[in-house]
Amino acid sequence: MLRLAAVVATATSMAGTASAQVRFRRPLGPAPVISYGYDNNGGAAGCRDYNCGSRCYDGHTGTDIPVPLGTTVLAGAMGTVVGTNDGCANYGGLGNTCGGRCGNYVQLQHSDGTRTIYCHMQQGSLMVGRGQSVGCGQAIGRSASSGSSTGPHLHFGWQRGGVSLDPFTGGCSNGGGRWVNQGSYPNSPGDSCEGPPPPPPCTRREGPFGWNCSGPIAGMTCTLINEPADPHTWGDNYLCSDLDRGLRWSYSGPIAGMRCIAVNESSEPAAHTWGDNYLCAPSWLPFPSARPRAWRTRVRGAARAGAPLEQGPSRATTASPGTSPPTRTPGRTTSSAGDTPPSPRTLALRSTPVLADHDRDHPRHRDHPRHRRCVRGASP
């Protein structure tokens, strides 16, 4: 049972996703050379820009881009307005404290929790208000030299957790990776907005197991993990193994005669529908950890090198005592990849324990209605 619990824990960890990182476009239409960058010197005297150069000044917490008075300022990415200030004179001068030295500004919060701030804007030019949603490249105001500023420019700042960081990637950057197209040093970044963030990679491998959220993994034995009664159910999520370990999934309670462990998620919108979902393993686990070498399968005299071992009936469809076993096509090997899901409401990886029972002395092997001969290498 501990082994089965480890399988479930592995599947849960592999199915996790990460928050998508927001990347920015240039917050202006024009693309002048950057005048002063973020100081990455960590509080020491002097300054060091992201490229380990000196295009910055001591203690600077953003990127200054020189533009004429009244240039339209654009949102670097989609976000929500969480702060604004208006009312500062268009020309503040060095050391001016209006707007916390930022003058007239707009601050946005983005979907990954980071924030951007746009400083030294023109008085009365703000085009957005607190609580408003804005799109990437949307006009939010016009440039000026308000607050602590010696000439018209835009100060673009990026913060994570309240700490200002450098959005540029470079040998001396304390942040980086935040532009859709960073461009060459010391030029302005590109003006392309990021599209909808791509989904995180969904194929994960942990030892002999794998997880994929877009169908079975090629070359592995996989079973669908879902709950049809949940309108938000996963429809293409598969737990896979390097070989057929007889794992089966049920969304109608434990499977009789197998070792099962409940799988549920309280945060699901329809969590109540997951109360009878189980991942089950045969009582004859564990399987060998390594993939067997080449096998030849023989079914009623028909042999196929490298073919999968023929799969027997699942426990849900095993014939009752006194009845005939399910009809099968002589000489045909099958795999679960193209099988029609069985009834009742149980999706199964149908298999027999022949891979684990090389000496063929297991009771289930001996009693299987389609007893077969399996040998390593060529058939005798």
- Residues 124 and 216 reside in one and the same domain: no
Q: Within a domain: residue 243?
A: yes
Q: Which pLDDT does position 299 carry in this prediction?
A: 33
What is the spatial distance between Cα 284 and Cα 242, in angstroms, rounded to a whole number?
17
- Residues 171 and 220 reside in one and the same domain: no
Q: Which pLDDT does position 371 carry in this prediction?
A: 40
Q: Within a domain: residue 366?
A: yes
Hey, which residues does 165 pair with through a beta bridge? 158
Q: Which pLDDT does position 343 carry in this prediction?
A: 38
User: pTM here?
Assistant: 0.50
Q: Where are any strands of DSSP class E within the chain?
A: 63-66, 72-74, 79-85, 104-109, 115-121, 133-134, 139-142, 153-160, 163-165, 204-206, 209-212, 221-224, 238-241, 248-250, 259-262, 278-281, 295-299, 302-305, 346-348, 373-376
Q: Within a domain: residue 161?
A: yes
Q: Within a domain: residue 65?
A: yes
- Residues 193 and 217 reside in one and the same domain: no
Last residue of a domain, one of 198, 225, 255: 198
Q: Within a domain: residue 324?
A: no
- Residues 185 and 228 reside in one and the same domain: no
CA distances (Å), 170 to each of 36, 56, 176, in order?
Answer: 15, 14, 7
Phi first, then psi, for residue 137 (nearest 5°) are: 85, 0
Q: What does pLDDT average to in each consecutive run of 10 residues of the chain (380 residues)?
A: 55 53 95 96 89 95 96 95 97 96 97 96 95 92 97 97 95 95 96 71 82 84 84 75 90 91 75 83 64 34 34 35 39 34 38 36 44 38
3-state secondary structure of 13: helix
Last residue of a domain, one of 198, 230, 256: 198
Q: Within a domain: residue 110?
A: yes
Contacts of 132 (CB under 8 A, 6+ apart): 80, 81
Q: Within a domain: residue 323?
A: no
Q: Which pLDDT does position 366 carry in this prediction?
A: 43
Question: How remote is the C-alpha of 206 from its chain's centroid?
Answer: 16
- Residues 145 and 180 reside in one and the same domain: yes
CATH code for the domain in which residue 48 is found = 2.70.70.10
Tokens representing 204 are 């994960």
Q: Which pLDDT does position 218 carry in this prediction?
A: 86
- Residues 28 and 9 reside in one and the same domain: no
Last residue of a domain, one of 157, 179, 198: 198
- Residues 99 and 186 reside in one and the same domain: yes
- Residues 175 and 114 reside in one and the same domain: yes
Count: domains in the chain: 2
Q: Within a domain: residue 321?
A: no
- Residues 236 and 366 reside in one and the same domain: yes
Which residue range(s) make up the domain with 222? Answer: 2-15+202-314+331-376
- Residues 350 and 226 reside in one and the same domain: yes
Q: Which pLDDT does position 132 carry in this prediction?
A: 93
